[in-house]
Amino acid sequence: MSGLRILIIEDNQDLADNLFDFLEARHHILDHAADGITGLHLAVVNDYDGILLDLILPGLDGVTLCRKLRQEAGKSTPILMLTARDSLEDKIIGLEAGADDYLVKPFAMREMETRLRVLVRRSRGEVANTVLRLGDLSFDPGQRLLRRGGRHVELPPIPMRLVELLLRAASRVVTRQELEGAIWGDTPPDSDALRAHMHVLRAAVDRPGERPLLHTVRGVGYRLAESDE
């Protein structure tokens, strides 16, 4: 993958400068906004491969920006959220607003770039086109299209990758270690990362009144199945 066009929305000038120095040396094309309103404008009017988005911003906070970008502007640009908040609830709020993944500050620059490249690669859907099914749940990897019954299920790239991994497992339990390794390799962001993305996946796939398909096997991992037995 060649250099990416990246929007950095970060009000900390020292961190923004460090991001610029590292990413420009890696041949990426960069734009910067130091507040949420400017960042939202740039994200809407331009086409970026990825966005680095601070959670706490002047003018418009990162969660509101993310939600407006997804719901009002209809933009699907991959978003890596940068946050100093490390509680599970804060992470879930960001992911449910439309962020694709997150990094807790301080972070390593190489890890940041790797995670952003992974999000971009997955958003482009460079995978085989074999429809996976379980009951009324179906997933087309080629089109990145997930459906449950008659409804279209919208998911960010990481929960989408998780549902694909679980569907390919054909109802067997997939361990936390297997899932973390498939998504993040040897360096998951923190101990809450998988749980936060699974929360987003469960809320999207198992709506109230529907038979639960995503099951937690305590102390082991997760499985997609029509029964929790």
Each residue's pLDDT tens digit, 174-191 = 999 999 988 888 777 777
pLDDT of residue 131: 84
Say how far apart CA 138 and CA 147 lie, in whole Å: 5
pLDDT of residue 229: 62
Give the residue ranges of the chain where pLDDT is below 70: 1, 125-129, 228-229
The CB-side HSE value for 124 (13 A sphere, CA atoms) comes to: 12
Q: Are strands 132-134 and 101-104 parallel, antiparallel or unpaired?
A: unpaired
pLDDT of residue 1: 57
pLDDT of residue 53: 96
Which CB contacts under 8 angstroms, 24+ apart, belong to 93-96? 93/63, 94/55, 94/62, 94/63, 94/66, 95/156, 95/159, 95/196, 95/197, 95/199, 95/200, 96/200, 96/203
